[in-house]
Amino acid sequence: MKPPTSALKPLVFAACAVPALWLAYDAFTGGLGANPVESITHRTGDWALRLLLVTLAVTPLRKLTGLNAVMRVRRMLGLYAFFYVCLHLLTYVVLDAFFSLAYIWDDVAKRLYITAGFTAFCLLLPLAVTSTNAMIRRLGARRWQRLHRLVYLAALAAILHFIWLVKADLREPLLYLAVFALLMLARVPTVSRRLGRLGRLRTAAATR
């Protein structure tokens, strides 16, 4: 069966917008609980990290399933992750720091978890900027790809950002770390080749 590739993009676009719309709905209906600012901060941060990991899952998923169509939404997923990163950062800049550069700089320099979070943002920024087709052409595929490997570092920094702010219950950030480790493992050449073979076997079986 041919996958409905034409519907994939709008579907993923709509799905990725749901957390933001849901957050907006809760904000206007008083659904953010007793501490709305904390709620906004946590939810935008959670979705930024989740979408970053989903983005990193695209390539292994293609290898495993042989579905090349998933590659068409990788950029969109990455940009959506960056969108949630921006909402997360904006919440901090406006509601925590109240636009005070001194406050922000003090935090970035002194608080390890903020250093990590800010590092993740700084690593993702050039990737978002160079995400257009024109930029890929301008940089050349090889250089572009090398640059975009920064996403691995960004994801790791984002997870450390989470681990270092938690008081005692590390289960959630460690779950993200485990997923990240799995996705990185899938990129180890020997593992990646095996995943590719599995995918080819599967597509062969499906077309027979």
Partner 1 sequence: MLIKRPDRFRASEITPRDTYLDRRRFIARAGAIAGAASLPGLLAPRAAGAVAKDPKSPGNALEGVVETDYRVADEALTSWDAITSYNNFYEFGTGKMDPARYGQSFVPRPWSVKVLGECEKPGDYDLEDILKPHALEERIYRLRCVEAWSMVVPWVGIPLAGVLKRFQPTSKAKYVAFRTVFRPAEMPGQNLPILDWPYVEGLRIDEAMHPLSLLVVGLYGEVLPNQNGAPLRLMVPWKYGFKSIKSIVTISFSESQPPTSWSIANPHEYGFYSNVNPKVDHPRWSQATERRVGEYFRIPTPMFNGYADEVAHMYAGMDLKKFI
What is the binding site for partner 1 (CB under 8 A)? Answer: 33-38, 95-96, 98, 106-107, 110-113, 164-165, 167-169, 171
CB of 177 to partner 1, least distance (A): 17
User: In terms of CB distance, is 2 or 110 closer to partner 1?
Assistant: 110
- Contact by Cβ (8 Å): 78, 55: yes
What are the two backbone dihedrals, phi and then psi, of residue 18, each rounded to the nearest 5 degrees?
A: -55, -50
Angle of helix 36-65 relative to helix 74-91, nearest 10 degrees, comes to 160
Q: Smallest distance, Å, CB 25 to partner 1?
A: 18
**Judged by CB, which is closer to partner 1: 82, or 162?**
162
Q: Which is nearer to partner 1, 113 or 152 (CB)?
A: 113
Closer by beta carbon to partner 1, 37 or else 182: 37
Structure tokens at 186: 């899938």
Q: How far is the CB of 21 from partner 1 (least distance, A)?
A: 21
Side-chain-facing half-sphere of 140: CA atoms under 13 Å = 3
The two three-digit tokens of residue 92, written as one number: 């901090």
- Nearest 5 degrees, angle CA 144-CA 149-CA 154? 125
Q: In terms of CB distance, is 69 or 174 closer to partner 1? A: 174
Amino acid at site 172: E
The torsion angle over the Cα atoms of residues 19, 22, 24 and 25, rounded to 10 degrees, is: 180
Minimum distance between the CB of residue 83 and partner 1, rounded to whole angstroms? 22
What count of residues does the chain have? Answer: 208
Nearest CB to partner 1, comparing residues 68 and 172? 172
Q: Measured from the CB of residue 122, what is the shortest distance to partner 1 in angstroms?
A: 20
Q: How far is the CB of 44 from partner 1 (least distance, A)?
A: 15
CB neighbour class for 69 (10 Å; exposed up to 12, middle 13-18, buried from 19): middle
